[in-house]
Every structure is written in C-alpha cells, then in structure tokens.
Structure 1
Amino acid sequence: MYDVIIIGGGVTGCATAAELAKYELGICVIEKESDVCEGTSKANSAIVHAGFDAEPGTLKAKLNVRGNAMIRELYKKLDFAFKQNGAMVLCFDEMQLPDLEKLLEKGKKNGVEGLEIITVEESRKREPKLSGEVKYALFAPTSGIVCPFEMTLAFAENALENGAEFKLSTKVTEINKSSDGYKVITDKGEFEARAVINCAGVYADEISEMVAEKRFTITPRKGEYMLMDKDAGGIVSHTIFQLPTKMGKGILVTPTVHGNLLVGPTAENIDDKENTSTTASGIAEVRAKGALSVEGLPFNKVITSFTGLRAVGNKHDFIIEEAAPNFFNAAGIESPGLTSAPAIAEMLRELLSNNIDLKLKDNYKDTRDGLVHFAELSRDEQNALIKENPAYGNIVCRCETITEGEILDAINRPLGATTLDGVKRRTRAGMGRCQAGFCSPKTILLLSEKLGCGIGDIKKNGRQEVSEDA
C-alpha cells in the first residue's frame, strides 16, 4: 500500500511527486500515456508568467507569483532550461491605456516586482520590430521562458531518484473507498493508497467524480501555435503579449529557450478532450494576430504547427481542494498552470499534512543532473566527451546537432524514453527544420536495440488505444 497515489504525469503531477518525495512517504504516479508530459504540459506557450493578469486574491494570483520565484531557483538545482527574458503587454490604442493601467495595479496587488508602463519610444528601443500601431506597453521583468518538457521531466526524475514510483501506460478506470484509504483500479491492476491526488488535466473532472459528487466541469480549450526556425529566433527577445481577453492572454510572440520563435495560441472551447488537430482557420488567426504585434514575422520560416489543450474549469480559478477525506483535486490548472506547478505542489503538500504526518527524509537529494547537450559544450568539452564515450561523436540529428550518445542517455536513464516523441522531448532530436525526416530511422534503430523489440514495435508516441466498451 502506498501513502499517496498521484493520478496524472503532467507538470502538476510530477511537481507534486517531487515535493512529496522530500518526505518519508510511499508515492506512486499513475499516468495513462507511455511517458510523462504527454498531455497539456507538452503543448503550451512555455511562459513563466510574472503574475500581473490574475485577479488579486485568487489562487492563480498567489500561486503564479510564488511559482515564478520558485522556478527561478529550481532550474539551477534540477538542471532544466530557463531564461528570464521579461515580457511586454502591448496597447494599440490610447483608449486601451486604462486597461493596461488596470493590469499594472493587479500586478502590484499580486506582489509582482518591477512592473512599469513604458512609452512607445521606450518599447521600440527594447524591441525594434514592434508594430507601428503600439502606443504603450506594460513591462514585466520577472517573466521568463522555460522548456516545459525538461521541467516536467526534471520533477519526475527528481521524484524517482527520491523513491517515487511511476506506473506508465496505466489508465485509471475506477476508484473505490477502502478501509485504509482508496483502491485505485486500472487496466494494469489495482493499487491502494491512504491518499489520492487528482492531477489528471482535462480528465480531472471525470477522476473526481469517481470519488465525490460532481463539483466542477473541465472544458478543453484548444490553442493552435506556429513554431519558426532558429533563423527567426532573434526577431524579439522579450515575450510579447497583447491585452488579454476573457478567453485568455491572446496571441503572443516569444523566443523559446532553444532559440526558435513561437507564435500563438488561439483559444477555442471544444468538447473532444483528445482533439489536438490543427486547422487552416486557426493557423490563419495565429498569422493575422501575431502580425499585429511584431512587424515582418517570417512565416516562410515556420517548421511546424501544433495544438495544445488547456484544462479550463468552470470555477474561474484553480481548483485545489480536499473533495473527500484524503482525496485531493488539483483541477482547472490552465494558464498560469505551468508557472504555478511547484507552488501548487506545495499547497497540496500542506493539505495532505493536515491528515498525514510528514517526516523529512534524511537522505533527500534536492539536485538532479540533466542530459548532456552536446551542441552547447565547448570544443574542448566535446572532444573530452567523445574520448570518454565515442557515441557522442556520431551526429544523429543534423538540424539540432544531437548525438547518438545523447539519444542513448535519454533511453537508458531512469524513466527513459520508449518512443520517438520521448526521445524528441528529452534531446530535441527531430525538433529541427526537417522535423525528424533525417534522424527518425536511426532513432528507431537505437530504441529497438535498447528496448529489445522489433523496429515495427517502436511508436511515435505511446497513446493508448481504448476500445469502445473499455
């Protein structure tokens, strides 16, 4: 029997596992996909928000600002990519200035540091490519960008190293109360725990209703993006927002931590919790609205488009609660959920501590070594690494300069990759301009050899096929 079962291996679930793994607890993360970071956490804007947008007094406001501060320290300890590049919210009309001033006041009430409204002249000094329609901008220096795959994986690997277990490709079908806690029934067997934490993203409402009465609903909000080649990455250095609406923070233009340029997302509420298709109309909207913020966006350098789903709750705030004795929900974790994840984990730990005594481990390890990124090393470091392990001398992904050594490390690590997407998220092999056209065959071969299976058994991702009567 575990002390805690966490349902969902996204950034919230993995951050919670890492937080609870500091204590003498038996922890199990159950994820229906074959890897962590397969759902909402893998397809978002990758922004570490400053915290000026959320309504003062809400959980979103409190946990955003706390999470922002935590990430600025955690990335050093857990070895994931992060850059504090600052953000600008653009105002295109003098009549919009009061709305920008309201954002400023919200941010100040929320405790965001360094916020200021700057003139068009100052805005264009900082970002020369801004649209000529810009009148003012709200500048937020504490905003940043992150790699969501790396951050989620860092939490997961840190949790694993500190004793947490992960049950992947395991779908929860039922949860029953037991004399000591809960029996979690899955398609891979039954697991028992004293407490359950629901971090199931767009399915959090369905998981909650396995235990408690209907408390909330989750609506998937579809957001489409365009990703440009690294040749376009220097168009802007800050994250460029437009004034937000009730549907979200609007179309943004931002560099990524790996040097690309990202534009999006759209915002469309849908019914299908698995619909991650892109559409001609969605991409057209991204192009049109992105061009309002930044002049001369090089759409001829787009290397891929993709869609993410945000888990939008009907409570207009994060839903973090004890819904039944020792059953906790972390639901409706839409933006700024990525930023807030480590702070949400702290809050869940506090709720759990009301019912279960928590004792810190004597041997807890608060650091984690990430994968070696060969392309980021100096020439001397590269030569030394190749001398130690010749596999680092074989380039597999030419677009991103990813070596065989990096791919083998991604497969061999605890919680290692088992699919093409798993390798891609850990190493970036396949994320370049040819979008895996060159490196896929070699990556499949390496996966096949290391996993001991046929090349036909290697999948792009591990999405579980569920029959109609399942």
Structure 2
Amino acid sequence: MVDVIIIGGGVVGCAVARELSRYSLNIALLEKTDDISNGQSKANTAIIHGGYDAHPGTQKAKFNVLGNKMYDKVCEELDVPHKWNTSLVVSFNPEDHESLVALKEQGIENGVPGLSIIGQDELRKREPNIGSTAYEALLVTNGGIVCPYELTQAFAENAAMNGVNFYREAEVTAIEKVKDGWKVTSKAGTFTAKAVVNCAGLYSDVINNMVSEDKITIVPRRGEYYIVDKKFSDTFHASIFQLPTKMGKGILVTPTVDGTILIGPTAEDIDDKTDTRTTTEGLAKVLKYASLTWEHIPARNYITTFSGLRAHCNKNEFVLGEAPDAPMFFNAAGVESPGLTSSPAIAEYLAEMITDKLGAKKKDNFNPMRKGIPKFREMTDEERAKAISINPDYAKVVCRCETVTEAEIREAIRRPVGARSVDGIKRRTRAGMGRCQAGFCTPRTLEILCEELHISPLEVSKFGGNSKYLESYLFEKGDHEDA
C-alpha cells in the first residue's frame, strides 16, 4: 500500500506531487498518457493571470490571487523562466468604460494590487502597435507569462528527486473503497492507497463519478491559436486582452517567454475530449477578433496553429478538497483558467489538507531546488565554449531553428520523468518548435531516442500510443544494415 495516489500528470497533479514530497510519504502519480503535461497543461495561453476577472468569493478568485503571489519563489526554486510583463484589458469603444471600471473594482475586491485604467496616450506609449480603435485599458501590473509545460516538468522532476514514483501509460479504469483506503486499478497495475487525489483534468469528472454521488460534468472547451515567428517578438510587450465575455477572456495577443507571439484562443464547447483539431472557422475567428488588437498580423510569419481543450466544469468553478461522501478522496477537478496561475496554491492547499488527515510529518531532507537543462541558445560565447569542453555533444546542433544541441536532447531523455517521445523532447528543449516545425531535426531526434531508450526506430512515437513515425523497414533489417 502507498500513502497517496495522484491521478493526472498535468501542472496541478505534478504541483501536488511536489508539495506532498515535502512529507515522509510513499507517493505514486498515475498518468494515462506516455508523458506528463500531455493535456491542457501543454496547450494554453501561458499567462500568469492577475486575478481581476474571477467572481469575488469563488475558488477561482481565491487561488488565482494566492498562486500569482507564489510564482517568484516557485520559479526561482525550479529554474523556470517567467516574466512580469503586465497585462492590458483593452476596450475599443468609449461606451465600455464602465465595464473596465467594474473589472477594476472586482479585481480590488479580489485583492489584486496595482490596478489602474489608462487612456489612449498612455496605452499607445506602452504599446505603439496597438490597433487604431483601441480606446483605453485596464492595466494589470501583476500579470505575467510563463512556460506551462516547462513548469509542469520542473514540478515533476523535483517531486521525483524527492521520492515520488511516476507511472506513465497508467490510465485509471476503476476505483474501489477498501479497508483503510482505496483500490485503484490502472493499465500499469493495481494500487492500494490511504488517499487518492483526482487531478485528471478533462477526465476529472470520470474519476470523481467513480466514487462519489456528488456528480460533476466536465465539458471540453476547445481554444484555437496561432503562433507568430520570433522576429516579431518586440511588437507587443504586455499580454493584451480584449474585454471578456461569458465564454472566456476573449482573443488575446501575448508574447511568450520563448520570444514568439501567441494569438487566441477561441472558446467552443465540444463533446469529444480528444478532439484537438484546428478548424477553418475557429482560426478565422481568431484572426477576425485579434485584428482589433493587431491590425496587420503578418500572415506569412505564422509558425503553426494548434488547439487546446479546457476542462470546463458544469459548476463553473474549481472543485477542490475532500469529496463529501468519499473520505480520503480529494478533488482538483474542473481546473480551467486560471488553473495554471492557481496551481501552486491549489497544490499547497490540498497537501496541507491531506497531510493533516494522514498525520504526516515534514522531511528534514526535502530539496526544493531543481536546475533546468542548460540552453545553448541562451549562452554567451564563453559559456558555450565551456559547455562544449565539458560535454562535446553541445557542439552538435540538432535543431537549427531553436539552436538545440544533442547534449540538451540527451539530457531531456535522461532526466527524472524524462522524454519518451519526439513531442516530449520538443516540450523539454524546443527542438522542433521553430520555423521549420521539425522538418530538419526529426531524423536525428529519432536516432537519439533509439540510442538512449534502446528501442527500434519502429517504436519511436510522436506523442505515445499509436503515433508511430515509421511503419516498417524498406529492406529486411539485416539487409539494410549490411548495405
């Protein structure tokens, strides 16, 4: 028996794992796919929200504000890039002034510091490339940006360093109450645990409804995005929102910590929790509304498009804490935006609740520090020479667009909870995320995966499961090796 099973390897699940690893507990995290950060944690707006737009008194408002305040410490400990670039909520009509005032007042009620409304002169001084009809804006000084999948990986690596066991391709198929705890059946085996934490994202309703009569429903809400090339990185400085609607925060234009510009998302409720297609209609909507903010979006400089699914709960709220009719079963369900911002605070809240129930004691040897993979593209020439002298694989650039070296790719595989697929490497190193979208680096990346994991090229996948790159050898294996 383990003490705690965490279901789900997204940003919340991995943050919970790290917080619980501060205690003398036996912890297992079960992730249904081949990798952590494979769901909504890999495909979102990457914003550290200020906390002005959640309704006062809600869990979303509470944990947004608390989580925002934790980011400096968390990112310093885990060596994760983030930037306080501010946010702007822009109105394009003088009649919207009262709506901006209401947002400001709501933010003040939520405890958000540094809110003010700025007029056209100040707005255009800050953002010279803002659309010509932009009228005024709510300035959110505590708004920021972060890399969501790098944060998730950092939580996971640090949790593993402190003793958490990660099981991938471990979809949970059944949960049953047993004496002194829970029996959890998964595709990676059967576990028993004193406590279970449901961080299953889009499937958190499925997991909750296995054990509780307090049913919830998660509706997949699809958001579609464009990514614009790094050469436009200085076009905007703040994360620029348009006035929100009941379907979300609207189409935004924001820089990323990696230098690209993100445009989106749409908000479309769908039935299929696996449908991450982009659509002609959705992408057209992105450009239509984004053109208010950015009038001359450079169509020849889109790097790619993508979509992400948000776990929208029918309660329109985070569902956090112990289920009322299932003792020692804890939910982190319906965690959509501002879930990324809230994740450190949600993890701390749940960990305190769980450890109190278990009577767990803090470790003396917990290590909160984790160093990221050194990035060749960010090094000075002197640092590059030193890196190559220590590890010659730093001299071998695999991804030319993002200047990612063989050393970085190998380390991404070797790290705790390391990469097992091409997309896993991409999220850990940015290999394949540049202009050519992996057109040049994929063959060498496949070779390195084979070498490090001791697998056949026919086993290498894009993102696990049946997403294999190669179907068969052109010749019999022995023949082509001798040719």
Q: What TM-score does the superposition give when structure 1 sets the normalisation length?
A: 0.98
* SS at 2:320 equivalent: strand
Task: Describe how 1:288-367 pairs up with structure 2 within 5 A.
Answer: 288-323=288-323, 324-367=326-369
Which residue identity does 2:287 align to in structure 1?
R
- Separation in structure 2 between the aligned mates of residue 291 and residue 237 of structure 1, nearest angstrom: 17
Return the alpha-carbon distance in structure 1 between the equivalents of residues 194 and 73 of structure 2: 32
Corresponding residue number in structure 2 for 1:468:
none
Asked if 1:401 is matched to 2:397, the reply is no
Contact 1:225 1:307 survives alignment (8 Å):
yes
Give the 3-state SS of the residue equivalent to 1:116 in structure 2: strand
The unaligned stretches of length 5 or more in structure 1 are: 466-470
Counterpart secondary structure, 1:367:
coil
Report if the CA contact (8 A) 1:32-1:464 is conserved: no
**In structure 2, C-alpha distance between the alignment counterparts of 1:431 and 1:406, rounded to whole Å:** 14
| 1:187 CA displacement | 1.7
Alignment-mate amino acid for residue 105 of structure 1: E
Q: What is the distance in 1 between the residues matched to 2:327 and 2:152?
A: 28
8 A contact 1:129–1:296 mirrored in 2: no
Give me the whole-angstrom Cα distance separating, in 2, the residues matched to 1:286 and 1:72.
31
Partner of 2:216: 216
Determine what percentage of the aligned residue pairs are the same residue: 52
Of 459, 462, 465 in structure 1, the residue corresponding to residue 464 of structure 2 is 462
- The CA deviation string for residues 325-356 of structure 1, in whole angstroms up to 9 with x for no partner, is 00011111010000000101111123213421
SS of structure 2 residue aligned to 1:375: helix
> How far apart, CA to CA, are the structure 2 residues paired with 1:189 and 1:46?
34
Within 1, Cα distance between the matches of 2:332 and 2:183?
19
- CA displacement at 1:127 relative to structure 2: 0.1
Q: Secondary structure at the match of 1:400?
A: coil
Q: What pairs up with 1:388-467 in 2 under 5 angstroms?
A: 388-463=390-465
Q: For residues 115 and 465 of structure 2, what CA distance do their matches in structure 1 show?
A: 42
Deviation at 1:461, TM superposition (A): 0.5
Gap regions ≥5 residues in structure 2: 468-483
Distance 1:463 1:311, change over 3 A: farther
1:93 positional shift: 1.0
Please identify runs of 4+ aligned residues in structure 1 that moved more than 3 A: none
Contact 1:33 1:464 in 2 (8 A): no
Q: Which moved more, 1:351-360 or 1:268-277?
A: 351-360
Distance in 1 (alpha carbons) for counterparts of 2:237 and 2:300: 20
The one-character-per-residue Cα deviations of 1:100-159 (angstroms, maximum 9, x if unpaired) are 101100111111111100001100000001111111100001110000111000000010
- Cα distance, 1:385 vs structure 2: 0.6
**Cα distance in 1, alignment partners of residues 30 and 465 from structure 2:** 14
- In 1, Cα distance between equivalents of 2:267 and 2:36: 25
1:299 Cα shift? 2.2
Match of 2:197 in 1: 197
Q: Distance in 1 between matches of 2:74 and 2:313?
A: 28
Quote the residue 1:186 is aligned against: 186
SS at match of 2:443: helix
Higher mean C-alpha deviation, range 296-305 or range 155-164: 296-305
- More divergent stretch after superposition (208-217 vs 419-428): 208-217
Whole-Å separation in 2 of the counterparts to 1:454 and 1:387: 31
Q: Structure 1 residue 29: deviation in Å? A: 0.4
Shift of 1:298: 1.3
**2:478 corresponding residue in structure 1:** none
Match of 1:177 in 2: 177
- Does 2:128 match 1:132? no
Q: Does the Cα contact within 8 Å between 2:209 and 2:216 map onto a contact in 1?
A: no
Cα distance between partner residues in 1 of 2:281 and 2:465: 27
Equivalent pairs counted in the alignment come to: 465
* Residue 243 of structure 2 is aligned to residue 243 of structure 1: yes
User: Over residues 66-91 of structure 1, what are the superposed CA-to-partner deviations in whole Å (9 max), with x where a residue is unaligned?
Assistant: 11111122111101111110000001
Offset, 1:214 = 4.3
Does 352-361 or 135-144 show the bigger shift?
352-361
Aligned residue number for residue 24 of structure 2: 24
Aligned with 1:209: secondary structure? helix
Q: Measure, in 2, the Cα distance between the counterparts of 1:353 and 1:383.
A: 47
Alignment partners' CA distance in 2, 1:170 and 1:316: 29
Q: Return the letter of the residue paired with 2:286.
A: V
Following superposition, the deviation at residue 463 of structure 1 comes to 3.8
- SS of residue paired to 1:41: coil
RMSD, aligned α-carbons:
1.0
Counterpart residue number, 1:266: 266
Q: State the Cα distance separating 1:414 from its structure 2 match.
A: 1.4
1:147 and 1:277 mapped to 2: Cα distance?
22
Looking at structure 2, the residues matched to 197 and 30 of structure 1 have their Cα atoms a distance apart, in angstroms, of 10
Aligned counterparts of 2:413 and 2:227: Cα–Cα separation in 1? 26
